[in-house]
């Protein structure tokens, strides 16, 4: 392998690899073949490299184990922000429901406009009541007055009449 | 985007796992490293060029593996690819024996040779892709790969009947 040793080792390695990967042109490949015929060690190096390449190409890519496949599938779900995790979604969903329930249970507080309207309604009602009250009072007074006079006069008249009869 | 992610998982999980397995030589650690790489892929999916998903993922997987190697105690040595038959290819160089011997020999290479051989010779990535994954120039990839293959050839020559 005298010629092989005299050459740059890296260059020889590169030529062997280029030969195996089909990157040498025909002329270069023929020259290397002739060198290998004259150099047993170079020939052995090429044969070993070829054997190795073939053996490595037969080493298949290994199938990932089922446990890893499952882990990789779960990544999108597990990588969501905490508040998007299913158990947190349930927890967060109860918050607005509870808040709504509390609002509904509380006595309602009227707004300012509602208060003003109520005040006006009340004023009208009182005015109406006042008017009714005045009329009622007059009616009662007049009614009670005649009744009272009748109640007082009638027994007297009856008494006088009885005395006159006697 | 979740559909895209599922597609990437289907396409690249075996390659990432194989690379991690060779580098770490431990199935459990290789699973963890592969998962870490895919978590990173999911978290950065919007910022990665879709054309470069594979080299990006391989690079991240390798980096996670190397981080784990660095954290290991110096005396820790895993031999995950140890076969029951320790004789290697001496006995007739049967194909399955050669395969087992070769796996152990590749796993025994030092970095970056180990990753280079796995990426180029087992997974058949192009030189350009390997250079991208390893963050090396094309000529560096070629030179390191020659050295790695030469080491393997020398080991093969030692055990050849």
Q: What is the pLDDT along chain A (166 residues), one digit of tens a residue?
A: 544 454 567 778 888 888 888 888 889 888 888 888 888 888 888 888 888 888 888 887 889 999 999 999 999 988 766 555 555 555 555 666 666 666 566 656 777 788 888 778 877 777 776 776 677 666 656 665 656 656 655 666 676 666 654 4
Give the integer Cα–Cα distance in Å for B130 and A92. 48
CA-based nearest distance B133→chain A, Å: 17
CA-based nearest distance A15→chain B, Å: 10
Residue B31 burial by Cβ neighbours in a 10 Å radius (0-12, 13-18, 19+): buried
| B 104-133 residues inside an 8 A Cβ radius of A | 106, 117, 121-124
Cβ neighbour number for residue A43 with a 10 Å cutoff = 16
Q: Copy the structure tokens of residue B125.
A: 């990535």
Cβ neighbour number for residue A72 with a 10 Å cutoff = 27
Give yes or no for a cis peptide into A133 (omega within 30° of 0): no
- Which residue out of B7, B11, B14 would a mutagenesis test of the A interface target, given it has the greatest number of A Cβ atoms within 10 Å? B14
The chain B residue lying nearest A66, using CA atoms, is B31
Q: What is the ipTM of this complex?
A: 0.79
| Interface membership of B37 toward A (CB under 8 Å) | no
Q: How far is CA A76 from CA A163, B35, B85, in A?
A: 119, 12, 42
B146 CB-near residues (< 8 Å, 6+ apart): A10, A13, A14, A16, A17
The whole-model pTM stands at 0.63
Partner residue facing B14 (CB), from A14, A63, A73 = A63
Taking the CA atoms of chain B, what radius of gyration do you get in angstroms? 17
Partner residue facing B35 (CB), from A14, A44, A71 = A71
Q: Which residues of B84-104 are buried (b: 16+ CB within 10 A; e: fewer)?
A: eeeebbeeebeeebbbbbbbb
Looking at residues B125-138, what average pLDDT do you find? 92
| Interface membership of B92 toward A (CB under 8 Å) | no
Query: First and final CA of chain B: distance in angstroms?
Result: 54
Backbone angle region of B135, left / alpha / beta, with phi > 0 → left and psi within -120 to 50 → alpha: left
Q: Hey, CA dihedral for A148, A154, A157, A158, is it positive or negative?
A: negative
- List of chain A residues whose C-beta atoms are within 8 Å of the C-beta of residue B147: 13
Partner residue facing B103 (CB), from A59, A72, A75 = A59
Write down the pLDDT at residue B64. 96
Write down the pLDDT at residue A133. 66
Q: Which domains does chain B have, with CATH numbers?
A: 1-80 (1.10.1740.10), 90-161 (1.10.10.10)
Name the residue with tokens 């005040």: A119
């Amino acid at each position: 392998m005298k010629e092989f040793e005299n050459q740059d080792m890296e260059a020889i390695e590169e030529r062997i690899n280029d030969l195996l990967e089909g990157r040498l042109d025909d002329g270069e490949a023929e020259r290397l073949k002739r060198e290998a015929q004259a150099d047993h060690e170079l020939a052995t190096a090429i044969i070993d490299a070829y054997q190795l390449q073939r053996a490595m190409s037969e080493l298949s890519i290994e199938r990932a184990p089922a446990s890893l496949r499952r882990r990789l599938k779960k990544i999108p779900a597990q990588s969501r922000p905490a508040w998007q995790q299913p158990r947190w979604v349930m927890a967060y969903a109860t918050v607005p429901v509870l808040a709504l329930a509390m609002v509904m249970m509380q006595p309602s507080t009227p707004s300012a406009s509602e208060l003003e309207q109520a005040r006006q309604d009340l004023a009208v009602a009182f005015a109406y009541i006042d008017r009714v009250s005045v009329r009622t009072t007059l009616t009662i007074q007049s009614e009670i007055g005649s009744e009272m006079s009748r109640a007082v006069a009638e027994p007297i008249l009856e008494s006088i009449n009885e005395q006159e009869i006697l | 985007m979740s559909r895209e992610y599922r597609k990437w998982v289907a396409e690249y999980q075996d390659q990432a796992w194989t690379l991690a397995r060779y580098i770490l030589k431990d199935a459990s650690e290789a699973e963890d490293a592969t998962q870490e790489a895919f978590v990173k892929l999911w978290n950065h999916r919007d910022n990665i060029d879709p054309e470069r998903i594979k080299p990006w993922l391989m690079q991240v997987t390798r980096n996670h593996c190397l981080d784990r190697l660095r954290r290991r105690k110096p005396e820790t040595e895993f031999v995950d690819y140890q076969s029951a038959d320790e004789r290697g290819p001496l006995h007739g160089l049967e194909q399955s024996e050669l395969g087992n011997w070769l796996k152990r020999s590749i796993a025994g290479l030092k970095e970056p040779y180990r990753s280079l051989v796995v990426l180029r010779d087992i997974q058949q990535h192009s030189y350009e892709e390997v250079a991208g994954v390893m963050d090396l120039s094309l000529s560096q990839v070629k030179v390191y790969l020659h050295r790695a293959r030469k080491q393997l050839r020398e080991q093969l020559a030692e055990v050849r009947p």
